[in-house]
Amino acid sequence: MPSLSLDLFCKVVDNFGDIGICWRLSRQLQREHGIAVRLWVDDLRSFQRLCPQVDLQAELQVVDGIAVRHWSTQEGEFAPEDVADIVIEFFACDIPPGYIAAMAQRPERPVWLNLEGLSAEEWVEGCHSLPSKHPRLPLTKYFFFPGFTEKTGGLLCEKDLEDERRAYISDPAAVSDFLSALGVTEAEAAAMKVSLFCYPYAPVGGLFAAWRDGEQQVTCLVPEGVASEAVSSFLGQPAVPGAMRSDGALTVRVLPFVPQQDYDKLLWSCDLNFVRGEDSWVRAQWAGKSFIWHIYAQDENLHHKKLRAFLQRYAAGRAFDEFSLCWNGAVEGDWPTLWKALASVMPEISAKSSEWQQKILDNGDLATNLTKFCASLR
């Protein structure tokens, strides 16, 4: 039987998360489900930061088995045979009108999905898989929501991820090779290791001061471009890869921005991971370590509601909740106290992580749920 084809449309609105999620999903659909994926992406430069093989000049290229098409215009005529069996628009991006017209002319209509962003809020369950008829054309689009319960589409998680993680963490030489390739010294690696990924407005300065004055040696690893202002102010020099400084109990080191395929290893190598947005947040949940989420800020503090919905579901206790709320500006707090409390429950949080993973994966992973949903509509 010929494999199914799928067009995934991704507009990089802000940051890397959109292409990060679409790239991960494309690879998983192709590798684990045998689907021929064509990824349409408007911003090859952002894509290249996650995936260095991307050629910025190519209109069409094959990267890791995925056809990548530079989506530079909304113009253009399309024939019904140009349309894939499954069409996914990420985060309600507008796909070219000519392409939609061709979808309506295709003898077997494609399955059309809008893949939404992740939220732990309850309303997601009521919206997942809802149909929406096109106002003029004989086409129906379905909403597909990732999520944490069996009434949602689940979370992205590759089949071999847990085996790869276990193999990596049980091989100390692999961990030390990985860290030393990023410039981390043995002494830095012996301290509590924290990776830091957050938006520029995170209260990094206050936390750095608490770490500096704390009892525990902390090595904070920050990929280039993250919280640059606060990081360079601590360093007293520009936050470029290789820059580092120790003060009191804290060492901060700037890393190169690691390719997406290595980002998991960074999370697995650290004792605590600060993550943000969507994709790194989900990866931190698979990493089996404590993590703190910096949520993308929205008008009217809508993000605080979303954060609280997650904290309620995750139920990791008061120290975790208070630290998370403060990190996201939802409440005020004192960093030395918050840090001491969080550090004391980190082992317990890590120990419970596999229970949490199991709970989410009982519902299947997002790519598998998505293919099943598409099959049910064909």
* Active site members: 18, 278
> Do residues 193 and 210 lie in contact, with contact meaning Cβ atoms separated by under 8 Å?
no
Sole binder of ligand TRH in the list 11, 20, 43, 328 (CB under 6 A) = 20
Question: Which amino acid belongs to residue 203?
Answer: P
Residues between 192 and 221 with contacts to ligand TRH, criterion CB under 6 A:
197
Q: What gap in Å lies between CA 338 and CA 332, rounded to an integer?
A: 10
Residues between 42 and 71 with contacts to ligand TRH, criterion CB under 6 A:
50
Give whichever of 85 and 278 is closer to ligand TRH, judged by the CB atom.
278
Please report whether residue 117 would count as binding ligand TRH according to CB under 6 A. yes
Please report whether residue 277 would count as binding ligand TRH according to CB under 6 A. yes
Please report whether residue 14 would count as binding ligand TRH according to CB under 6 A. yes
Q: What gap in Å lies between CA 161 and CA 264, rounded to an integer?
A: 9
Q: What gap in Å lies between CA 263 and CA 110, rounded to an integer?
A: 34
Q: Provide the minimum distance between the beta carbon of 267 and ligand TRH in the complex, in angstroms, as a whole number.
A: 9
Q: What gap in Å lies between CA 333 and CA 140, rounded to an integer?
A: 48
Dihedral angle at the C-alpha atoms of 263, 266, 271, 277, nearest 10 degrees?
-20
Strand pairing report for 60-63 and 66-70 = antiparallel
Give whichever of 19 and 111 is closer to ligand TRH, judged by the CB atom.
19
Q: Provide the minimum distance between the beta carbon of 296 and ligand TRH in the complex, in angstroms, as a whole number.
A: 5
Q: What gap in Å lies between CA 110 and CA 104, rounded to an integer?
A: 8
Please report whether residue 260 would count as binding ligand TRH according to CB under 6 A. yes
Please report whether residue 257 would count as binding ligand TRH according to CB under 6 A. yes
Give the C-alpha distances (Å, rounded to integers) separating 237 from 111, 196, 206, 232.
52, 18, 19, 5
DSSP state of 116: -
Stretch of residues binding ligand TRH (CB under 6 A), selected from 65-73, 230-238, 259-267, 354-362? 259-267
Stretch of residues binding ligand TRH (CB under 6 A), selected from 164-172, 186-194, 274-282, 327-335? 274-282
Q: What gap in Å lies between CA 55 and CA 34, rounded to an integer?
A: 24
Tell me which residue has tokens 């909304």.
74
Please report whether residue 146 would count as binding ligand TRH according to CB under 6 A. no
Residue nearest to ligand TRH (CB): 17
Q: Provide the minimum distance between the beta carbon of 118 and ligand TRH in the complex, in angstroms, as a whole number.
A: 7
Please report whether residue 228 would count as binding ligand TRH according to CB under 6 A. no
List Cβ neighbours of 311 (8 Å cut-off, separation of 6 or more). Answer: 320, 321, 324, 325
Give whichever of 13 and 315 is closer to ligand TRH, judged by the CB atom.
13
Please report whether residue 276 would count as binding ligand TRH according to CB under 6 A. yes
Give whichever of 99 and 197 is closer to ligand TRH, judged by the CB atom.
197
Degrees to nearest 5, angle at CA 254 with 251 and 257: 145
Length reported for the chain: 378
Binding-site ranges for ligand TRH (CB under 6 A): 13-18, 20, 50, 117, 197, 223, 257-260, 263, 276-281, 296
